[in-house]
Amino acid sequence: MRQCERFADEKKVDVIELIAKCTKDLRHIATEELYDLVLDVYQRNDDCDNALALWYKMQEADVVPSKKFVQNICSMLKANNKNLPLELISLLDKETRSKILNQ
């Protein structure tokens, strides 16, 4: 995980995504944490398009996003006046949903 954090600092998201893809079915590796790291890089760069692309890749690979991931991507998209996919909104709890949608 430390190495992946280093890759995130170096903005090597392709490497982290590849590791996440390869470790998807391994129980001792928290794949969702790897996707959180990738999203963190996109947030630092304010890159909504790649953040959404990451979300869709996760959907295709049947990866369940962490609560942190869902909150962060929704906040990021809302802050940049982007449309929020209904699938993302439905993953938010009621309180967080109203907070993000009413920003």
Q: What is the pLDDT of residues 46-100, one digit of tens each?
A: 999 999 999 999 999 888 899 999 999 999 999 999 988 888 888 888 888 787 7
What are the residue ranges of helices labelled H in the chain?
2-9, 13-22, 31-44, 48-60, 67-79, 86-91, 94-101
Exposed (0-12), middle (13-18) or buried (19+): which is 43, by Cβ within 10 Å?
middle
Going 67 to 73 to 78 to 82, the CA torsion angle's sign is negative
Single pTM value for the model: 0.87
Cα distance between residue 71 and residue 86, in whole Å: 13
pLDDT at 96: 81
Where in the sequence is the domain holding 66, given as residue range(s)?
Answer: 2-101
pLDDT at 23: 87
Domain count within the chain: 1
